[in-house]
Amino acid sequence: MSRKKIVVLDGYTLNPGDLCWDELGKLGDTVVYERTNQDQTFERVKDAHIVITNKVIIDRKLMSELTNLKYIGVLATGYNVVDTVAANDLGVIVTNIPAYSTESVAQMVFAHILNFTQRVGLHSDSVKSGDWVNSKDFMYSLTPQTELSGKVLGIIGFGKIGSAVARIGEAFDMDIIFNNRSKKHRLSGGKKQVELEEIFKSGDFISINCPLTDENAGFVNNSLLNLAKQSVFIVNTGRGPLLNETDVAEALNAGKIAGLGADVLSTEPPLPDNPLLTAKNCFITPHMAWATREARIRLMEIAVGNVRSFLNGNPVNVVS
């Protein structure tokens, strides 16, 4: 059987140089592009049997023009960049990468929480600038220091990532409440499933870990923010459009909420006028929660395994 042509459209974020594409190369004639603009896509994949994408959009029009295309592998858990209905109509298999970054994303949630409660970087910079050398006292603090024990951690979305966030919260002796679309049974410890409004009324910290749907886009808006404590700190590692960014920025600037930690924004890279970029007490990381080396190794292994299974006639992790 002739070797299949495999094209990776945007491989840089998965492998900026510290991993290897060799295992994928063993499965077919492989071409890896670090980045692909949308207007370059057709020319690069026109002869491909297998296309691997992370953020490059594969729509019905493009698929219908690719006569050799049989498989699309998405290098992420979310697969909204591919028109899966069109893929199904055209007989193209689409796969994703489930549950590769659970622990890494949960770790980032607490990186944001601990940044807010301790502000280690701010104080380190202060010390290096001479503030401690010139201090009259043996210690000082530029921001309030907050202990997590006994605080309420509200988690929105209680899948694998939300559950991992809860485990870490329990290790800090936090009280865990959560909201989830379906009822969760056999809960350990003192975790309680509550309504969304209760998360905002009671949460000292709120972690957003739910998937983005047509129904929940922009759900973090004034109606919920007005219920929240002024001391609440919100962390979003889900998807940027879950937040009404204008409402959240206004709440931050008005002191209605204490802070936001965001690893995702509505448009990525963000537009210069995104209101969160200049909002008070807003800490933004560039969609990097998933990208620990350990998580990327798992992602690469699963991606190669998905292609191998497809070529062997037994596709796995199919979403089309």
Q: How high is the pLDDT of residue 180?
A: 95
Average pLDDT for 162-181: 97
Contact criterion met (CB below 8 Å) for 217 and 94: no
What are φ and ψ of residue 72, in 5° steps?
-125, 125
CA-CA distances (angstroms) from residue 67 to 85, 94, 308?
17, 16, 21
Domains of the chain plus CATH, in order, are 5-100+293-311 (3.40.50.720), 102-284 (3.40.50.720)
What is the model's pLDDT at position 2?
A: 76
pLDDT at residue 27, as a whole number = 98
Q: Averaged over 93-102, what is the pLDDT?
A: 96
C-alpha distances (whole Å) from 287 to each of 190, 262, 265, 290, 315 are: 32, 8, 8, 8, 29
CB count within 10 Å of CB 13 equals 17
| Mean pLDDT to the nearest integer, 240-245 | 98
Give the residue-averaged pLDDT of 64-73. 97
User: What is the reported pLDDT for 135?
Assistant: 97
Q: Across residues 217-221, what is the average pLDDT? A: 97
Give catalytic residues, as residue numbers: 239, 268, 287
Mean per-residue pLDDT of the chain: 97
Residues 29-61 have pLDDT tens digits of 999 999 999 999 999 999 999 999 999 999 999
Look up residue 21 and give its two tokens.
């594409």
Q: Which residue has the tokens 């807010």?
A: 116
pLDDT band at 187 (very low <50, low <70, confident <90, very high): confident
Q: Are 74 and 53 in contact (CB under 8 A)?
A: yes
Does 247 score more than 60 pLDDT? yes
Q: Given pLDDT bands bounded at 50, 70 and 90, which one contains residue 1? A: low
pLDDT over 60 (residue 113): yes
The answer to whether residues 45 and 9 touch, using CB atoms and an 8 Å cutoff, is: yes
Residue 95 confidence (pLDDT): 98
Of the candidates 232, 262, 257, the residue with the CA atom closest to the CA atom of residue 247: 257
Arithmetic mean of pLDDT, 70-77: 97
pLDDT at 126 over 90: yes
